[in-house]
Amino acid sequence: MGPGPSDVNPRVLSALGRPTIGHLDPQFFMLMDEVKSLLQYAFKTKNDLTIPISAPGSAGMEACFVNLVEPGDKVVVCSNGVFGGRMAENVRRVGGQLILLEEEWGKPVNPEKLDALLSKNPDVSIVAFVHAETSTGVRSDAEHLCRIAKNYDCLVILDCVTSLGGIEVSLDEWKVDAAYSGSQKCLSCVPGLSPLSFSDAALKKLKNRKSPVNSWFLDLNLITDYWSGSEKRSYHHTAPVNSIYGLHEALIILKEEGLERSWDRHRQNHVLLRDHLEGIGLRFIVDEPYRLPQLNAVSIPDSVDEQAIRKSLLNDFDLEIGAGLGSLAGKIWRIGLMGYASNNGNVLYCVNALKEALSKNS
């Protein structure tokens, strides 16, 4: 019950162990097509380029920036946590001109500030932000932020690593141009894959680049030749066949439950956890309307040795919860209720374990 990897559904673990077939086997091509269509369902998009990148979420993030940002492009990154900071680092490394819109950690990105910034910088071509900040448990209003970016004709890059499957993500309705996620959060698959989706406008920007993409491994011009639905697929790299078996199974599980029911379950279990945690005096660091149900960040009471508590949970209760990152290190815990792990039993187990650990260590 940390910030991810979440507990993996046994069906996914079992799918992982199926015999490996070739990455150019016609049977595997059929599986790839199913994965594409299941990812389109999960992302709520018709984007044809909707595929898993063969590496963790950080590589999905890099794939967006390295394909869409050319040297000199002006890019606004709205940063309110660790992963916004990582986006900014990506812009720097790819040679973009970074405009950083910083927000206090634990607060959502502020739409008015974005509007004001874009009105003063009409040559910005890309806006990027994190939908669900895993470092703080805050949800930004993606729909609103996308609307503003679109008013200024900007492409939008959206980090959906922790949101996908846990709260609403609607790429087409919100007009997101490039989105990436991770397999190991609310999809409850093993870590190692990054679902990614590009709109037609994003593809157009990619096709019209003046300079080559500086990564060969993440060059979507080449990757799409392998993932395209056509008969004639070109080998690019060896796909992580078994991990894709796992993702396929995880997405089938999501579709069986249904997106809306999954979001609902995440909300209900969050409410249950919230009531219990507040009952033992723990406070959420995020204001109620912006709390992520799948990532519950609470302040650590003074006088509590937070490392001792986490160690006791891990050793005595086999239970992992997350520590704070960056400026929140030592100040918060992050309790994940993601995907398969978001259930009633886990909430009660966690609360009871936490109570015991707190009473033993105080």
For a copy of itself, the closer CB: 279 or 326: 326
Site for a copy of itself contains 221 (CB under 8 A)? no
Burial of 92 per CB tally in 10 Å (0-12, 13-18, 19+) = middle
- Cα 296 from Cα 122, distance rounded (Å): 37
Q: How far is CA 330 from CA 2, 32, 79, 302, 306, in A?
A: 15, 43, 21, 11, 7
Residue 292 Cβ, how far from a copy of itself at the closest point, in Å? 17
Q: Which of 20, 37, 119, 327 binds a copy of itself (CB under 8 A)?
A: 20
Cα–Cα separations (whole angstroms), residue 108 to 145, 234, 287:
11, 42, 9
Nearest to a copy of itself of 216, 229 (CB atom): 216
Is position 250 an interface residue for a copy of itself (rule: CB under 8 A)?
no
Asked if 73 is part of the footprint of a copy of itself (rule: CB under 8 A), the reply reads: no
- Minimum CB distance to a copy of itself smaller for 55 or for 178: 55
- Distances 207 to 132, 200, 203, 358 between C-alpha atoms, Å: 30, 10, 6, 56
Cβ proximity to a copy of itself, 14 vs 119, nearer residue: 14
Q: Give the closest residue to 68 by CA, choosing from 34, 96, 105, 102.
A: 96
Answer for which of 38, 78, 94, 178 binds a copy of itself (CB under 8 A) is 94
Q: Residue 241 Cβ, how far from a copy of itself at the closest point, in Å?
A: 6
Q: In terms of DSSP bridges, do strands 322-323 and 332-336 run parallel, antiparallel, or are they unpaired? A: antiparallel
Among 45, 51, 62, 274, the residue binding a copy of itself under the rule CB under 8 A is 62
CB of 168 to a copy of itself, least distance (A): 23
- Which positions from 300 to 339 touch a copy of itself by CB under 8 A, shown as an x/- string? --------------x-----x----x--------------
Give dist(CA 267, CA 270) in Å, integer: 5
237 binds a copy of itself (CB under 8 A): yes
The residues, ordered by sequence, that sit 6+ positions from 189 with a Cβ below 8 Å of its Cβ are 8, 12, 183, 243, 246, 247, 249, 250
Query: Within a 10 A sphere around the Cβ of 186, how many other Cβ atoms?
Result: 36
Binding site for a copy of itself (CB under 8 A): 2, 4-5, 7-8, 13-14, 16-26, 54-59, 61-62, 66, 86, 89-90, 92-95, 182, 184, 190-192, 212-217, 235-243, 246, 314, 320, 325
